Structure 1
């Protein structure tokens, strides 16, 4: 019994050390986009930050254990409080720090469905919930400009939002855009292939060649990167639809590396979504 307790204690201690080491390894990198808009990279979804006389406006919160580092990075940009936190969707790598940020008397904003999904998540408590929700779109005026927040139907999830800074010409796409890599289309959370593609197209109305785009994941981007990403998805969609029309099974599509070879060679399968996973996702999403 003592041996079992010792092993358990050692295992728990090992987990704590590993978690701390991972936390210490994560660096929050700040990118200045304009005089008052910044992008923060860390672990999880990219964070957007607007600073000015009205306070700090923050987009997404990454994981809770990174909050101290994120706050430290924000304090180098502004000594004012975080007035608002907007979530682009409900996934934990974008909302995991909500509870910590809310304790700073910050108002959280998100789509109606984000509220529902965070509410139903046993790993998150009510402190993580948005206080202000919207169905279609929302307009906010802060730090000298209008921020347009608009919902995208059944794209990455069923609660996606993009945010456009009208004066700064900066777009935060959330996870409806993964720069230089295959996207995660969460079919189990209301996401869809066609909705994802439509979401990308809808933002093209707002942006121009000078727009700076903060992707959900990946490097700071521009309209050319965005258009390349759209072409990739449309190309793969067409190929997979042809396979489905020819009676191919999910296994046959998932293992057919020729379908994605062009983009595999560009390392689009580098990260969370592998080449096989995107082929399988496209099959399941289009087969429905």
Structure 2
């Protein structure tokens, strides 16, 4: 059990550092059928959504550039149609590093205007002391929006809706109305502590508000594609939201009492959640420090 937890923690630590030296030969792209003509692809980085049909392919997020050939290979097993649109849920490297490869195929890239802004320039991630280099023009969104954008494709009504200051300042949620599927991007990490990017104006309260909005739009039969983790549902998303509400409450109380970061770390205020959520992407202490920084910055 300890070795398993260590493996997941180290795997995500590498991913979140946006390193450029992954051994991509070892990465396997797995495909999960979500509903009708919608699939979830997992490899290394954020979960990819794919909708296929006679009108072509709509793709959500692109993971890492060295994986593009494998990703396209996995998609080609689902459909021989061309990728028509690539929608970025937000700007982070593990969701957009493949943009340039996809863009070179003439695919139209779509994202919130803040995503294009951040991808257009070198961007610093404070939590990992990492500067992520800008993408070239071919990897940038060519269609941007402020609040929402709609697609009518493959007999499906698709809504891409901006969620203000959640995981970052450019997050979008994608609803497939007829299929009853939603892709949350990194607003939702299923099964482990989430990363909230303070340097990209992420906010715990914003994530909670975004999750509340998603919950208001779905039902018990909705399939939920998270930004990271296994395919999910409304019940698990409710647990995630309730967890964030409780952690947020605890952290705000400690900060209001004047506790320093060092004192809070020593208190281990999230210890009762660590066993269930601390064995994945972020080790408990790293998550606690990031969470403190986000809550402190948004007071």
TM-score, normalised to structure 2's length? 0.87
User: Equivalent residue for 1:8?
Assistant: none
Aligned counterparts, 1:158-177, within 5 A:
158-177=169-188
| Aligned partner of 1:228 among 239, 242, 245 | 239
- Kept in 2, the 8 Å contact 1:209–1:224? The answer is yes
1:33 is displaced (CA, Å) by 1.0
User: Equivalent residue for 2:9?
Assistant: none
- Kept in 2, the 8 Å contact 1:55–1:143? The answer is yes
Aligned counterparts, 1:172-191, within 5 A:
172-191=183-202
- 1:269 and 2:270 correspond: no
User: Equivalent residue for 1:197?
Assistant: 208
1:252 is displaced (CA, Å) by 1.3
SS at match of 1:205: helix
User: Equivalent residue for 2:125?
Assistant: none
Instruction: Single out whichever of 179-188 and 121-130 deviates more from structure 2.
Output: 121-130
Aligned counterparts, 1:29-44, within 5 A:
29-44=30-45
User: Equivalent residue for 1:15?
Assistant: none
Cα distance in structure 1, aligned partners of 2:174 and 2:75: 19
- Kept in 1, the 8 Å contact 2:52–2:58? The answer is yes
- Kept in 1, the 8 Å contact 2:220–2:233? The answer is yes
User: Equivalent residue for 2:98?
Assistant: 97
Instruction: Single out whichever of 277-286 and 112-121 deviates more from structure 2.
Output: 277-286
Instruction: Single out whichever of 240-249 and 77-86 deviates more from structure 2.
Output: 240-249
| Aligned partner of 2:224 among 213, 228, 232 | 213
Structure 1 runs of 4+ aligned residues shifted over 4 Å read none
Structure with more contact order per residue of length (Cα contacts < 8 Å, sep ≥ 6): 2
1:253 is displaced (CA, Å) by 1.4
| Aligned partner of 1:250 among 250, 261, 267 | 261
Cα distance in structure 1, aligned partners of 2:209 and 2:121: 28
Cα distance in structure 1, aligned partners of 2:69 and 2:296: 44
User: Equivalent residue for 1:86?
Assistant: 87
- Kept in 1, the 8 Å contact 2:147–2:162? The answer is yes
SS at match of 2:79: coil
Cα distance in structure 2, aligned partners of 1:220 and 1:280: 28
1:123 is displaced (CA, Å) by 4.3
User: Equivalent residue for 1:260?
Assistant: 270
1:19 is displaced (CA, Å) by 5.0
- Kept in 2, the 8 Å contact 1:254–1:277? The answer is no
Question: Tell me, which stretches of 5 or more residues in structure 2 are unaligned?
Answer: 1-19, 123-132
1:126 is displaced (CA, Å) by 1.1
- What whole-Å deviation, never above 9, does each CA across 1:43-77 have from its counterpart, x for those lacking one? 00000000001000000000000000000000000
Cα distance in structure 1, aligned partners of 2:169 and 2:21: 31
- 1:68 and 2:69 correspond: yes
1:183 is displaced (CA, Å) by 0.6
Cα distance in structure 2, aligned partners of 1:117 and 1:141: 28
- Kept in 2, the 8 Å contact 1:255–1:276? The answer is no
Question: Tell me, which stretches of 5 or more residues in structure 1 are unaligned?
Answer: 1-17
TM-score, normalised to structure 1's length? 0.90
Cα distance in structure 1, aligned partners of 2:205 and 2:115: 20
Q: Aligned in 2, Cα 1:287/1:142: closer, same or farther, shift over 3 Å?
A: same
Cα distance in structure 2, aligned partners of 1:254 and 1:139: 44
Instruction: Single out whichever of 60-69 and 197-206 deviates more from structure 2.
Output: 197-206
Cα distance in structure 1, aligned partners of 2:62 and 2:266: 36
- Kept in 2, the 8 Å contact 1:138–1:150? The answer is yes
